[in-house]
């Protein structure tokens, strides 16, 4: 028997190394998995029922939840759009806005779309995938660092707003240095932040694999993680102790 037998999971923006690993791990533990991205090509090789949607559009988020159906036990928000690597003085307003929209607006639309389901079920496990850049900052990644810090506030706010529903748990996982290789090589620009944060770091050799992040997600969405709510889990191999405080 798996830890997630009879559970239904949705992974938003699953077309990357971490998203693929999460889909594999949750499927292996018995969950019925839906995976979403804005381009079918990004979901090639990712297990689960595919949903193509642009979550920048509220209507697409609503249709995505309708496609999943009336039962949703697990939601993983895997948005990770870094944007241009520029000094803050060189960053254009449109570039900053795009990073905010891709990383936060999409999650806002998704969270709003699932509310009727959450209210009916009185329960859901939500995990937002962040980056240690939000806690520690990263040179030339002002927009990205800002939105990943904003994800902390969104995570904790949703946990508090939905605390009246006894089965709701909302947490975030901050990925640190993750090595994307082989079948997980398509995570994309998310590698930039990790590389920048690894400079002069005594814990730089503590590199995670996408499945390391996926296994933390599994713990949080399974019954084993019931006691954890409104928390930010730093999966950064010690990096936060160097540059985040």
- 187 with 145: CB under 8 angstroms? no
pLDDT recorded at residue 30: 98
Over the stretch 21-41, which tens digit does the pLDDT of each residue have?
A: 999 999 999 999 999 999 999
Over the stretch 131-163, which tens digit does the pLDDT of each residue have?
A: 988 988 888 999 999 999 999 999 999 999 999
Q: CA–CA separation, 67 vs 75, rounded Å? A: 14
Residue 187 has pLDDT above 90, yes or no: no
- Give percent of the chain above pLDDT 90: 77
Q: Which of 207, 215, 211, 143 is nearest to 176 (CA)?
A: 207
What does DSSP assign to residue 40? Answer: G
Residue 155, token pair as written in the block: 């995570």
- Ordered structural domains, the chain, with CATH: 8-243 (3.40.50.720)
pLDDT band at 189 (very low <50, low <70, confident <90, very high): very low
pLDDT band at 14 (very low <50, low <70, confident <90, very high): very high
Residue with structure tokens 């990925």? Answer: 175
DSSP E strands, 27-139: 32-37, 49-52, 74-77, 123-131
Average pLDDT over residues 196-206: 61
Residue 7, token pair as written in the block: 């559970």
pLDDT band at 190 (very low <50, low <70, confident <90, very high): very low
Residue 122 has pLDDT above 80, yes or no: yes
Residue 216 has pLDDT above 80, yes or no: yes
């Amino acid at each position: 028997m798996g830890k997630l037998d009879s559970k239904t999971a949705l992974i938003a923006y699953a077309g990357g190394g971490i998203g693929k690993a999460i889909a594999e791990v949750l499927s292996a533990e018995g969950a019925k998995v839906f995976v979403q991205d804005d381009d079918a090509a990004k979901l090639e090789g990712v297990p689960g029922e595919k949903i193509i949607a642009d979550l920048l559009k509220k209507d697409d988020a609503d249709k995505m939840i309708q496609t999943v159906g009336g039962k949703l036990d697990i939601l993983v928000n895997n948005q990770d759009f870094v944007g241009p690597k520029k000094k803050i003085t060189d960053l254009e307003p449109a570039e900053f806005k795009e990073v905010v929209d891709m990383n936060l607006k999409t999650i806002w639309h998704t969270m709003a779309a699932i509310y009727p389901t959450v209210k009916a079920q009185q329960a859901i496990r939500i995990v937002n995938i962040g980056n240690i850049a939000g806690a520690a900052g990263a040179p030339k990644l002002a927009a990205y660092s800002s939105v990943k810090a904003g994800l902390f506030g969104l995570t904790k706010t949703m946990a508090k707003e939905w605390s009246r529903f006894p089965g709701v748990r909302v947490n975030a996982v901050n990925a640190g240095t993750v090595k994307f290789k082989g079948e997980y090589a398509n995570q994309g620009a998310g590698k930039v932040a990790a590389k920048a944060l690894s400079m002069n770091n005594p814990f730089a050799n503590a590199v995670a694999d996408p499945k390391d992040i996926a296994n933390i997600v599994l713990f949080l969405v399974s019954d084993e993680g019931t006691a954890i709510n409104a928390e930010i889990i730093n999966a950064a191999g010690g990096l936060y102790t160097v540059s985040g405080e």
